[in-house]
Amino acid sequence: MAKVNTDGSSWGNPGISGCSGILRNSRGWDIGSFSAPLGTQTSFYAELIGAILTIAITWSNGWTNLWLQCDSSMVMQAFANSKIIPWHLRNLWLNCKTRLLEMNFRVSHIFREGNCAADKVANMGLAAASFKWWQNAPH
């Protein structure tokens, strides 16, 4: 099972945004991390793209067991009600939902205080030039 903590960051709403994910295996060992710059977006967009990228990465690596944790209650609601997805993200979201049909998937909320590592990596995405992948969590 891959357990992934995701986060989105936005300096302003809308503002300069980024997202991240920290992936760990069932023993809690790092199996990778990512951050991505998103340009000027809303905080919900940043949080949602973090979840979307996580699902795409785990699916493309053939990891069929995924536990996603995020600190956004709106993202949690999106899994239950796709009607809150902005229209410009609808195709990406539908692709994710289709991929999840092939996976053993769980999503849960984590308080912001417990998600500080993902928050730090998301902030790295704010100033990055492009998507960044690390084999281990960055320092």
- Residue-level pLDDT at 56: 96
Quote the pTM value. 0.92
- For 101, which DSSP code? T
Tens of pLDDT along the chain (139 residues) come to: 799 999 999 998 999 999 999 899 989 899 999 999 999 999 999 999 999 999 999 999 999 999 999 999 999 999 999 999 999 999 999 999 999 999 999 999 989 787 888 888 788 888 888 999 998 777 7
CA quadruple 75, 105, 17, 87: dihedral sign: negative
CATH number of 2-134: 3.30.420.10
CA 77 to chain centre: 15
Q: How far apart are CA 83 and CA 72, in angstroms?
A: 17
Any idea where the domains of the chain sit in the sequence?
2-134
Q: How far apart are CA 104 and CA 7, in angstroms?
A: 21
